[in-house]
Chains A and B, each alone.
Chain A
Amino acid sequence: MTAAQFTVLIFQGLTLGGLYAMIGAGLALNYGILKVLQLAHGEYITYGAFAAIGAIALFPNLPFPLVLLLAFLACALLGAAAQLLIVERAMAHRNEVVAMLVTFGLAVVLRDSLAEFAGADLRGLSVGSLAQANFTIAGITLGVLPLVSLGIALTSFLLLALLIFRTRLGMEIRAVSDMPDIAALVGARVKRTHIVVAALSAGLAAIAGVLLAMRSSISPYSGLDSLLIAFEVVVLGGLGSIRGVLLAGLLLGMTQVISTWADNSAGLFYVHLVFFVVLVFRAKTGKLQ
């Protein structure tokens, strides 16, 4: 392997890692604050992708940032509605498994409604000339699209971190997450905070979905695959930690790129294996709760 090939490989690993981290970001937020394993997360990712695909089909000249915003808002609204009408009620139940299973029912309803409405075909998001665009640095040619995708992911993470750690809303969210009862006593609006978090988490999923559809194709049934990646990223990053999610996404992205380079038929075998081994090792050494 030449140095140029190595650089390309690292670049691919970074961009895929950024996408993986993005896929997990919303789930980490949701689990970190609401303590509910959101099984509809993969569906929000798919809905984000389809919202973008639909928007471009209707208005072919819509600028890309607007498409991204539209997908974010559509899913945020969906996430807020689902939290308000369904998940919030289930969270009132003593057993936390009930809330998780409710999101599971929600996932199935969302998935099959989309398949019924949009058909089961695989679709991609066409980004015009951007798809083929590339640039050359020191004799190494890299794609523009993956770089844009990585940029969007990193920006989203930065904004999320700023929101959580530097704003009043973020303070309220952290308070509700740490001690819901006391936060309520001192005037935090717990239910409203839950809905904001659910909306934000579904919106982040939508951005991940747009990035995913730009990179490869997506169908209404892709939700479970996305959910599995999201789970791996979130669990590896230490359930709920934003920085951990970024690092875990990069680790899994790198693993996939390098294993595919070494073994053509690798698929996700080594990604899952690395996740599983790290998880069990951390559990064995007492690093998990």
Chain B
Amino acid sequence: MMKKVEFVALAVGAIAAICAAIFLDSGLQFLLCEVLVLFLMAQMWNLAAGYAGQISFGPQMFVGLGGYALYMISNNTTIPVWVVMALVPIVVGLLAIPLGMVVFHLKHAYFAIGTWVAAEIAFQFVIKTPSLGGSSGLVLRPGGEMVEGYPEKTVVAVALFASVALIVALRMFLRSRLGLAVLAVRDNETGAEATGINVRRLHLALYTLTGAGIATAAALYYSTTLFLTPLDAFQAKWAVELMFIVVVGGLGTLTGPAIGVALFIGLREFMTANGYSGDQYWIIMGVLAIAVLLLLPQGIWPALTTFYTRMTRGNTQ
């Protein structure tokens, strides 16, 4: 059931999405697109890693699959881009099921490394395949025509609403029977299995869902860039960024990734605006990650909530 506050959040999200599309200038819209796309992906990685224990080094597999699904279907058929966008999660989700059945033979470290190698295999395959554009990549030409206008205007609205809707959906999901099963498995896998939860099927469902989610966010992102190279889509940079965002913000919480993205992009924009280099930015991010992990190993958001409850409890005593 949807709570009243969630319904209000959805409505506010819809209004904010429309406002963002109308009032923001195009540079800001592009930046906001990046922020929201990263948030959507981070939330997906968080759902798999923080709630299902599937720490994967290979989310770039789904970034690439999403981008290539969008470009290949749009360029080679007359289906409008927006319909293709809705098809991407279905196509990639269907691909994720057999892939998940293979990688779920692997556990823990093997799983993390196996997913990374799987992404590299996909990357090398695309580079070797001329009909997929090879190493030079693809240009978005829906039905053979160049894209006109500013796609980020629409994408920013969709991504903003999708982000709000995702949080509401995840909150509802975690209250549902299936969501409670996910939490039970996270806290004690053997115990959860003993109460009759099919852990394997649950993990596969989450893998498929999060894969399709990352692919959709990637499709949104690459519909604004208008071109796509395998080196960009399949690079391990995606895994690095998502891990930073989720780990610093707070693994296994819904608010953590939002804080992580805000820090990640905020610091980057601040440092580039003040003339620091990209390397200097990453050094700071690395130090920040180490410091957070050593001092607040759960991440920033769980530390804040613990601090807050301790403060309020202190007041009532």
Contacts and interface: CB of A to CB of B under 8 A. Distances in A.
A7 interface: no
A268 B290 contact: no
A272 B124 CA distance: 9
Nearest to A269: B124
Contacts of B83: none
Given A231-B113, A269-B124, A90 B106 contact: no
A232 B293 contact: no
B11 interface: no
A78 B177 CA distance: 50
A283 B105 CA distance: 6
B283 interface: yes
A247 interface: no
B110 A283 contact: yes
Contact of A279 (B106, B243, B283): B106
Interface in B273-294: 277-280, 282-283, 285-290, 293-294
Contact of B105 (A86, A93, A101, A280): A280
Contacts of B120: 228, 268, 272
Given A105-B289, A108-B240, A280-B105, A95 B297 contact: yes
Interface in A95-124: 95, 97-98, 101-102, 104-109, 111-113, 115-116
A112 B280 contact: yes
A89 interface: yes
B249 interface: no
A266 B127 CA distance: 10
Given A228-B116, A272-B121, A102 B277 contact: no
A276 interface: yes
Contacts of B247: 101
Interface residue tally on A, bucketed by range: 35 or more
Q: What secondary structure prevails in chain A residues at the interface with B?
A: helix
Interface string A24-49: 00000001000001000000000000
Nearest to B292: A105
Nearest to B243: A104
Nearest to B291: A105
A230 to B, nearest CB: 10
Nearest to B297: A98
Interface residues of B, number: 39
Interface in A245-281: 265-269, 272-273, 275-276, 279-280
Given A105-B293, A116-B283, A269-B124, A288 B116 contact: no
A113 to B, nearest CB: 6
B290 A265 contact: no
Nearest to B289: A105
B287 A105 contact: yes
Contacts of B278: 112
A289 B293 contact: no
Contacts of B279: 112-113, 115-116
B110 A108 contact: no
B107 interface: yes
B125 to A, nearest CB: 7
Contact of A109 (B107, B113, B286, B294): B286
Given A239-B109, A272-B120, A112 B283 contact: yes
A231 B109 CA distance: 10
Contact of B280 (A89, A97, A101, A116): A116
Given A37-B112, A95-B297, A228-B116, A276 B287 contact: no
Interface string B108-141: 0110111011101100110110000000000000
A288 B106 contact: yes
Contacts of B287: 105, 109
Nearest to B53: A97
A235 B109 CA distance: 9
B117 A275 contact: yes
B55 interface: yes
Given A95-B297, A116-B277, A276-B121, A101 B243 contact: yes
A284 interface: yes
A224 interface: yes
Contacts of A268: 120, 124
Contacts of B110: 235, 279, 283, 288
Nearest to A86: B290
B147 interface: no
Contacts of A224: 236
B102 interface: yes
A155 to B, nearest CB: 28
Interface in B252-308: 277-280, 282-283, 285-290, 293-294, 297
Interface of B: 55, 102-103, 105-107, 109-110, 112-114, 116-118, 120-121, 124-125, 127-128, 236, 240, 243, 247, 277-280, 282-283, 285-290, 293-294, 297
Given A86-B294, A104-B243, A105-B287, 18 more contacts: A37-B109, A37-B112, A98-B297, A101-B243, A102-B289, A102-B294, A108-B240, A109-B286, A109-B287, A228-B117, A231-B113, A232-B117, A265-B128, A267-B124, A272-B124, A280-B105, A283-B105, A288-B110
Interface of A: 31, 37, 86, 89-90, 93, 95, 97-98, 101-102, 104-109, 111-113, 115-116, 224, 228, 231-232, 235, 239, 265-269, 272-273, 275-276, 279-280, 283-284, 288-289
12 contacts: A37-B109, A37-B112, A86-B290, A98-B293, A106-B286, A108-B240, A108-B283, A116-B280, A235-B110, A268-B120, A276-B118, A283-B106
